[in-house]
Structure 1
């Protein structure tokens, strides 16, 4: 997916118009706001420590390119990058933030288990003063801004102050094998009804409809969420995940569980689905298992490399997704103005071009670069349409700190036929209600 790109100096020149610089952020868990500074050069010689999880191919190339461009634009700033895998970052970040010498900028995962807890502990700066200087709320759709927002004291996610800004987008959709569809006499799906008809037709003609691996439980939550978006709609799903109202036992959410159970009963999944690793799913799909596969854009590059033009991507008008881990400013940073300038720089319009150049999916439409190849074009087009229509719903594991297990486990049992849709949703509601009581 990577393309030839300009030098760091060239990229810096493109980003210059979007990056200057702003200050800090209110109650015991919200550091006191101060006016935003806008002159990085006046900060003197600064070492800015940044912790990120951009360790995979295109992500690593992207952040390295942007860091080099930022340092070229501001020669008085040295970026000290500390890269960790997603899992390692989650394990070590809380301890780092609570210390006396935390990083200046970190990627803090959205949801109650991470960002909300950091806000509750007063470990992150609200970005309101900086937003006045850099205009993130003018550039990003509200649905994306909500994902990186937390209310006072970390009590609720999905509203309140903005605590981070993301560079890349994420969207969950349906991959399909074009050759298999052609042999079955089917066209690529354009609507949810097309997908359901395609699943039934594939099964009726002896093909495995869906490649699916659910050993880690989270894949079932994503598949359920995709179905839930169609039965409940975006507003109901957002309200539920963000704790604004509703219950997991409400009829539309139970109906989604019934559909998931029905798909399993009809044999749409491979029989060993609960024993297959998530990361093995695209490998199996590329080898010929399944006509369709549910998954995120993070698998697009690998599938394109394996299947070439034989693979396509479809996303319904409302679907699960969001943004990559946002970049946040730590409350104890000694250089918050420089940190804000850094975040503005790596989320600028030119940075969106850099995202495309390195094979990623930018959160906002890039001003000049376009994706390479049919599959990446499919993914980018789906993301653009969803963003414009405000059609992205949050990942369900944001709902509570333990939801990945509390709901993922019952869904695993549901797929195996060992529980009912109603019981699975009662288990989800039990964990959810207990969390909200706290």
Structure 2
């Protein structure tokens, strides 16, 4: 998330940690400093695992310092091209995957082709084919290509988080079907409770709309949209259903109209404070909810009535082409792929890509990973709606905000997102 994600917390784990190390590439930078950017909070699963990876890196590389610089997801989203095309580029960074982000930067020559390193270190053996899709890009910057430009050490998907106390208080059963989900929201609304926490200012609203469309779509529809394998009609049955249902949920009060001005962080905080019964968002919140929520019982379930859900590999470790210490960057990535670090990530509320399943002992973490495996087994990971075109994230934010505040109809909203997609397809010769 978007992670997406992300999605992602707009916070850096900020530190200047003395780290051990020897080795660097032939660049002209400081061989005793590794500049690392990532935007995961220190209480997230990834933040915890990567902090431990820094400590292990310290033991293996005497004399090297890791330098963190505070950045946010949105900031990197908007400034990556400029920064990576300058001498200010970090040595290694977490970056969003997909055509519009990692794909675009690979096409522009701003990311290192790490294909030989992936094979040498065996990272390709640790990642399933579906996870590899978001790591590899072709000359157009379209995912699923032949060159590796990034490596994820976790996976992610979206789900419904729910407040068990509020469900019990209002006599609402945990929904197993889409009809039961709607019935649950009706009961909450009748009791004066807005059912869904929402953030229309950033990714959450567009992801819910995409999830609604996915409930009427199939894998061919996803491949056509994401990998340009066939014609995309933004007024087809799936897109029309997603937009009209989303607008209907706003009209019925399932989604608050003031959520157009709320960001992802505000949405998550409101859910964790017990103000909403449900939140539809990604596994990147899981570790934080797990460590933060103390005042009520909570759980999660896959979005009912859909074989498909937003999800993919997690964000990528990428090595900028202008990285001064590429060898150190590869060493750090390697540590995050080792079983010990993967197990820590899994027991902290993340979804590891290379852990021993029997080593995941935390009950909630096991539930998270089992639901992810259910999606993988039915080939249900459908990526994210902002991936297909550069700048598409902002297009989708604006369009879904208009659905929330009522300044555009579903048809107008779909027209708004169709134009930039078609323009991008023409630009790459699709």
Please report the TM-score for the alignment, with normalisation by the length of structure 1.
0.79
Residue in 1 aligned with 2:382?
393
Seen in structure 2, the aligned counterparts of structure 1 residues 141 and 100 have a Cα distance that, compared at 3 Å, is same
User: Do the aligned partners of 2:112 and 2:321 also contact (CA within 8 Å) in 1?
Assistant: yes
Residue in 2 aligned with 1:372?
362
> Given the alignment of the two structures, is residue 353 of structure 1 paired with residue 339 of structure 2, yes or no?
no
Q: Secondary structure at the match of 1:174?
A: strand
**Structure-to-structure mapping, 1:191-340, within 5 angstroms:** 191-204=177-190, 206-214=192-200, 216-245=201-230, 246-304=232-290, 305-307=292-294, 310-316=297-303, 317-333=307-323, 336-340=326-330
Residue in 2 aligned with 1:342?
332
Residue in 1 aligned with 2:8?
none
User: Do the aligned partners of 1:217 and 1:411 also contact (CA within 8 Å) in 2?
Assistant: no
Q: Secondary structure at the match of 1:166?
A: coil
Number of corresponding residues: 396
Residue in 2 aligned with 1:24?
none
Seen in structure 2, the aligned counterparts of structure 1 residues 191 and 158 have a Cα distance that, compared at 3 Å, is farther
Seen in structure 2, the aligned counterparts of structure 1 residues 391 and 54 have a Cα distance that, compared at 3 Å, is same
CA-CA distance at 1:388 after TM superposition? 3.9
> Given the alignment of the two structures, is residue 186 of structure 1 paired with residue 172 of structure 2, yes or no?
yes
Seen in structure 2, the aligned counterparts of structure 1 residues 420 and 370 have a Cα distance that, compared at 3 Å, is same
CA-CA distance at 1:79 after TM superposition? 5.2
User: Do the aligned partners of 2:319 and 2:329 also contact (CA within 8 Å) in 1?
Assistant: yes
The answer to which of 309-318 and 352-361 deviates more is: 352-361
- Matching residue within 375, 383, 403 for 1:414: 403
Provide the aligned C-alpha RMSD in A. 3.2
Structure 1 gaps of 5+ residues are 1-11, 13-39
> Given the alignment of the two structures, is residue 108 of structure 1 paired with residue 105 of structure 2, yes or no?
no
1:205-234 per-position Cα deviation (integer Å, ceiling 9, x unaligned): 5543222232x1532101112212211134
Q: Secondary structure at the match of 2:143?
A: coil
> Given the alignment of the two structures, is residue 171 of structure 1 paired with residue 171 of structure 2, yes or no?
no
Seen in structure 2, the aligned counterparts of structure 1 residues 307 and 228 have a Cα distance that, compared at 3 Å, is farther
Residue in 1 aligned with 2:6?
none
- Matching residue within 407, 424, 429 for 1:435: 424
The answer to which of 58-67 and 260-269 deviates more is: 58-67
Structure 2 gaps of 5+ residues are 1-19
CA distance in 1, matches of 2:270, 2:23: 52
User: Do the aligned partners of 2:24 and 2:325 also contact (CA within 8 Å) in 1?
Assistant: no
CA-CA distance at 1:309 after TM superposition? 5.3
CA distance in 2, matches of 1:354, 1:256: 37
Q: Where does structure 1 differ by over 6 angstroms across 4 or more consecutive aligned residues? A: 40-45
User: Do the aligned partners of 1:53 and 1:89 also contact (CA within 8 Å) in 2?
Assistant: no
> Which structure has the bigger radius of gyration?
1
Please report the TM-score for the alignment, with normalisation by the length of structure 2.
0.80
1:417-438 per-position Cα deviation (integer Å, ceiling 9, x unaligned): 3322222111111111112111
User: Do the aligned partners of 1:106 and 1:327 also contact (CA within 8 Å) in 2?
Assistant: yes
Q: Secondary structure at the match of 1:176?
A: strand
